[in-house]
Amino acid sequence: MARKNEVQTQQKQEVQETQKAERMHDRRVYMPRADIYETDDAIHLIANMAGVDQDSVDITLEKNVLTLRGQASAQTPEGMELAYSEYAVGDYERSFVLSDEIEREGIDAKMQDGVLDLTLPKSKSARSRRIPVKAA
């Protein structure tokens, strides 16, 4: 049942509670959509977090688990009523297991237009550990 003007895009995906502990805030939590690409010396992660600015984003790296959390600002315009709704507003949370060791000091994060741009430089040991295989 195709409707007009449709782009095949996935809906916002809500995070499924996996741990036993519950969240303190009774708010929806969504999984930010992310692009990840790698260069020789860094891993780049770009995540869509609409409504989040640089003060409300929290990035933690514990061992090799990178966790992104973002608190989205409310979108309710003052004195207005919701007449029709296709999406809900909530916070964002997502974790990634990094495949390489990261130089913690060199992590760079930028937040612009609701997009988090994260650069995770690979540590020197991780870079040098790669053994080139020569063809015989």
Partner 1 sequence: MFYRNPYGMGSVFREFERLRRSMDDLLEGFPGRTPTAYPAVNVWTSQEKVMVTAELPGVKPDALDISVNGNILTIHGKPEADETDRSYHRRERPVAEFHRTVELPCRVDDEKVEARLEKGILAIAMPRSEADKPRRITVKSE
Q: How far is CA 134 from CA 40, 41, 130, 131, in A?
A: 19, 21, 12, 9
Residue in 15, 103, 109, 114 binding partner 1, rule: CB under 8 A: 114
Half-sphere exposure of 130 (CA within 13 A, CB side): 11
Please tell me whether residue 97 binds partner 1 under the rule CB under 8 A: no
Q: Which of 91, 79, 98 is closest to 38 using CA atoms?
A: 98
CB-nearer residue toward partner 1: 81 or 105:
81
Residue in 21, 80, 97, 136 binding partner 1, rule: CB under 8 A: 80
Stretch that binds partner 1, among 48-56, 58-66, 101-109, 122-130 (CB under 8 A): 48-56
Please tell me whether residue 55 binds partner 1 under the rule CB under 8 A: no
Stretch that binds partner 1, among 29-37, 58-66, 100-108, 122-130 (CB under 8 A): 29-37
CB-nearer residue toward partner 1: 63 or 84:
84
Q: Which of 62, 68, 51 is closest to 118 using CA atoms?
A: 68
Q: Which of 115, 114, 98, 109 is closest to 43 using CA atoms?
A: 98
Which residues would be at the binding site for partner 1 (CB under 8 A)? Answer: 1, 3-13, 33-39, 46, 48-53, 73, 75-77, 79-87, 113-115
